[in-house]
Amino acid sequence: MKKIVTLAGDGIGPEIMTAGLEVFDAVAQKINFDYEIEAKAFGGAGIDTSGHPLPDDTLAAAKTADAILLAAIGSPQYDKAPVRPEQGLLAIRKELNLFANIRPVRIFDALRHLSPLKAERIAGVDFVVVRELTGGIYFGQHTLTENSACDINEYSASEIRRIMRKAFAIARGRNKKVTSIDKQNVLATSKLWRQIAEEVAKEYSDVTLEHQLVDSAAMVMITNPACFDVVVTENLFGDILSDESSVLPGTLGVMPSASHSESGPSLYEPIHGSAPDIAGKGIANPISMILSVAMMLRDSFGETAGAEMIEHAVNKTLTQGILTRDLGGLANTKQMTAAIIANL
């Protein structure tokens, strides 16, 4: 039996977590997948129960889990809290060594009209952004005085090597192309980044490696996004570019993500926020959460059939014109979830 820790969090988090688990249970019955759920407080909910967004018992449970599902965290009521909900997310990434953030970018045919790009620009778009998540400038030394500030961006060869291997392994199962993004014409960390990328590429002779400077890559992601297969980059650049790529489908409501460690449990979550303005209204789009469940089935448990079952059901539901309000439709959270289950 597999243990899955759920972190419903704040805002619409509990609503979409319920939806995701309903779909998960329906699929589990079809593929005979045996599991147990352990729900824990996290984010603002953690602050309410223990005074910290990552309570000790939540972290302990996460460390012993086979996989972790996170819905959403954050609320305006915690804006002035001594420790904000978002700090819990940084803490769990560090504690579990979740060094690789994976964001697939796919355009659903039924939602093409929502993209800000012309139809011909997004034709064939299907790529993955692999972001290094526990190193770089976010985790370096930060110094702030009245007249100056300094943020240290530091990477070791081993940190770069492991994220590169993750990207190449993913590419090997796709179209066998890796685009490594850096700023090697200026930054020392990027010079090392490119050097290690070339070294790792020799381990994957069947995968093609190309390099792009981050400013050029940002433009190509808008002008010709279909040219990418697997994009790999450091923490800061990955933060920016993964958010840029998230607008290509025209909505955050259909995009899942995963964060992996080298040997411990992985964490799966929607890329959108907690949407406190619609929390409790029952109108949140659950698709990102549901597709995060599909990623979990495939990546953590090797249940490819179950993952594909969910993805096909989501696509069929959208093709049928069943859309939540953020997608221009009238379906509420329960109706969308029920439709996806019916299409499994």
Q: Which residues are catalytic?
A: 138, 183, 215, 239, 243
Phi, psi of 34 (to 5 degrees): -100, 125
Q: Which two tokens stand for residue 4?
A: 């899955």
Can you name the residues that pair with 68 across neighbouring β-strands?
5, 267
Phi-psi domain of 105 (left: phi exceeds 0; alpha: psi -120 through 50; beta: other): beta
Q: Please spell the DSSP secondary structure of 9-70, one letter per residue.
A: ESTTHHHHHHHHHHHHHHHHHHHT--EEEEE---THHHHHHHSSSS-HHHHHHHHT-SEEEE
Asked whether the beta carbons of 285 and 323 are under 8 A apart, the reply is no
H, E, C per residue of 211-254: EEEHHHHHHHHHHCHHHCCEEEECHHHHHHHHHHHCCCCCCHHH
Angle between helices 287-299 and 304-319 (to 10 degrees): 160
